[in-house]
């Protein structure tokens, strides 16, 4: 792993005995079993109390200059006109044929400034595409290693921030710039777990001290550090897509049922014509939820079968749900009538059939608001 990038908290993770792995070219923690955690305990902490994640591998980019917000709005799918300064928005960067380069969060600072948080593996490509298209007077700056990103997620997350003197009153998808211990930190009411939570962006070199403070208070409130293993089980329970699996250059927002993140009334965004046409015609396959009816656990790339054994789809994401204690998954399922919510299908598990039911995510209630 010598060639992998590391977060500003890498030494903290090593000291906690974290199991580390490659995430988008970054050496990041999967779980903290040596610290008394592990995916199941970390997952439960987020659902019941609070978990603190290091997601500093996420990209960061600044688009600034006269008309920067209008420029971003002509490129990315969602409509920045729906929000105002101090709010954030989930959006997509697409290709001309409608494939998804990345899904990301856009922080609207004002008409001349937008801050973007793409996924780690795709950050450079998002920056490249925006920079290539930027008009005179608009700059696109890669700030990947200028800021850390710490996610504080769970029902007791407001108590953790309050104990550190940080603001907690923002509405969902709103953000504010604050000070902690004389250091600037941007705080947004966002997350990837389905729980009430916050994502904090301190300066890169300030991230270790803030992590230490957050973790000390979180432990006092029944919380713990949480790795990217729990982040995956939590997001799957919510039915949140993961780029590279549920969204990709081959899986469009229409197919992934992410059309709510597309400003269909806008005149222009990358992929506009292709996505508008696909939406009108209807996609061949769409993303659906699968709930195991036996002890099987859906896994990516497993074929999905109908009652006659014909392949009608493929699993894109799957896991054991620590909350429900059953297998759950997302799958691209053929759209012809007959595969509705409640329909029973099967997974091909190395030649053995495992029964599943088609359901509409989330698999557990959302508490983001």
State how far the Cα of 278 lies from the Cα of 275, in Å rounded to an integer: 5
Q: Residues 234-270: pLDDT tens digits?
A: 999 999 999 999 999 999 999 999 999 999 999 999 9
Domains: count for the chain = 3
pTM: 0.97
Do residues 277 and 313 both lie within one domain?
no
Q: Residues 310-349: pLDDT tens digits?
A: 999 999 999 999 999 999 999 999 987 568 899 999 999 9
pLDDT higher than threshold 90 for residue 1: no
Residue 24: which region, alpha, beta or left (left: phi > 0; alpha: psi -120 to 50)?
Answer: left
CATH of the domain at 90: 3.30.70.1400
CB 157 within 8 A of CB 164: no
Average pLDDT, the chain: 97
**Mean pLDDT of all residues in 168-178:** 97
Do residues 159 and 130 both lie within one domain?
no
**Mean pLDDT of all residues in 105-117:** 98
Residue 239: which region, alpha, beta or left (left: phi > 0; alpha: psi -120 to 50)?
Answer: left
Do residues 167 and 294 both lie within one domain?
no
Q: Which of the residue ranges 96-105, 339-348, 357-366 would you say has the lowest mean pLDDT?
A: 339-348
- Check residue 288 and give its pLDDT: 96
- Check residue 338 and give its pLDDT: 61
CA distance readout (Å), 278 to 29, 98, 259? 39, 9, 11
Q: Which residues pair with 19 in a beta bridge?
A: 31
**Mean pLDDT of all residues in 79-96:** 98
Q: Residues 296-311: pLDDT tens digits?
A: 999 999 999 999 999 9
pLDDT higher than threshold 90 for residue 229: yes
Do residues 182 and 302 both lie within one domain?
no
With the C-alpha atoms ordered 357, 313, 332, 297, is the resulting torsion angle positive or negative? positive
Residue bearing the bigger pLDDT, 64 or 335 = 64
Residue corresponding to tokens 């598990």: 349
Helix (H, G, I), strand (E, B) or coil at 124: helix
CB 317 within 8 A of CB 329: yes
- For residue 362, whether the previous peptide bond is cis, meaning omega lies within 30 degrees of 0, is yes
Domain coverage including residue 300: 284-369
């Amino acid at each position: 792993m010598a060639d992998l990038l590391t977060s500003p908290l890498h030494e903290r993770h090593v000291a906690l005995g974290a199991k580390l792995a490659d995430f988008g070219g970054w050496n990041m923690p999967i779980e903290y079993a040596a610290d008394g955690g592990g995916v199941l305990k970390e997952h439960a902490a987020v659902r019941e109390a609070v978990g603190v994640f290091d997601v500093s591998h996420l990209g960061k980019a600044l688009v600034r200059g006269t008309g920067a917000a209008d420029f971003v709005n002509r490129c990315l799918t969602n409509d920045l006109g729906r929000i105002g300064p101090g709010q954030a928005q989930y959006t997509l960067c697409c290709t001309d044929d409608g494939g998804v380069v990345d899904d990301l969060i856009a922080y609207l600072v004002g008409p001349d400034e937008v801050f973007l948080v793409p996924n780690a593996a795709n950050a450079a490509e998002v920056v490249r595409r925006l920079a290539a298209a930027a008009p005179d007077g608009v700059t696109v700056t890669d700030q990947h290693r200028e800021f850390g990103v710490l996610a504080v997620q769970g029902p007791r997350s407001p108590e953790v921030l309050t104990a550190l003197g940080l603001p907690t009153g923002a509405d969902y998808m709103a953000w504010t710039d604050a000070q902690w211990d004389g250091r600037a930190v941007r705080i947004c009411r966002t997350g990837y777990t389905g729980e009430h939570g916050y994502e904090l962006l301190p300066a890169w070199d300030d991230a270790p001290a803030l992590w230490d403070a957050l973790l000390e208070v979180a432990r006092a409130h029944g919380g713990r550090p949480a790795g990217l293993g729990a982040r995956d089980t939590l997001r799957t329970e919510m039915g949140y897509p993961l780029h590279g699996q549920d969204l990709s250059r081959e899986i469009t927002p229409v197919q992934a049922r992410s059309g709510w993140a597309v400003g269909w009334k806008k005149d222009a965004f990358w992929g506009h014509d292709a996505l508008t046409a696909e939406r009108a015609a209807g996609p061949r396959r769409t993303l659906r939820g699968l709930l195991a009816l036996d002890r099987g656990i859906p896994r990516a790339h497993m074929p999905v079968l109908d009652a006659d054994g014909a392949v009608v789809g493929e699993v894109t994401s799957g896991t054991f749900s620590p909350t429900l204690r059953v297998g759950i998954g997302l799958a691209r399922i053929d759209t012809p009538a007959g595969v509705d919510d409640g329909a029973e299908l099967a997974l091909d598990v190395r030649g053995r059939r495992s029964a599943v039911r088609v359901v509409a995510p989330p698999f557990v209630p959302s508490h983001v608001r």
